[in-house]
Structure 1
């Protein structure tokens, strides 16, 4: 793996993780708001975990990066 590919992978995986975290946060806010008040600690921890899972999934490969 060369340095250029690694930099492209980090950028692509980071963008994918941020998008996943944002989607998870929106879904969690909507769910908790419907139940009662928004639990921001739960929103942050759920979104953070989703971001970590996204990065781990990206290790298997990113289709937008051609080798």
Structure 2
């Protein structure tokens, strides 16, 4: 949790969460941009972002290193691959 890589990954997820939740609120709550309650939309996206950061911090000690509980493709790429099975059938 105290590494630059952790905070880079967390920042990327926070930005992605903010954008996704803002788009969800905008498309669900209004028929055009003039009907949007921007204060509520930005507050909702901000809360979702805050929760994403808290989730990353809470998950930092669980599972593999990184801000999430699941294995990412980057971590999967550096995981050693098992040796092929030898023997005859």
1:37 offset after TM fit, Å?
1.4
User: 1:7-18 counterparts in 2 under 5 A?
Assistant: 7-18=4-15
**Where does the alignment leave 5 or more consecutive residues of structure 2 unmatched?**
61-67, 76-89
Partner of 1:37: 35
CA RMSD of aligned residues (A): 2.2
**Aligned residue-pair number:** 62
1:32 offset after TM fit, Å?
1.4
Moved beyond 6 Å, runs of 4+? none
Q: Distance in 1 between matches of 2:6 and 2:41?
A: 27
**Where does the alignment leave 5 or more consecutive residues of structure 1 unmatched?**
none
Q: Which has the higher contact order (CA 8 A, sep 6+)?
A: 1
User: 1:1-67 counterparts in 2 under 5 A?
Assistant: 6-34=3-31, 37-59=35-57, 60-61=59-60, 62=68, 63-64=71-72
Q: Distance in 1 between matches of 2:26 and 2:42?
A: 10
Normalized per residue, the structure richer in helix is: 1
TM-score by length of 2: 0.61
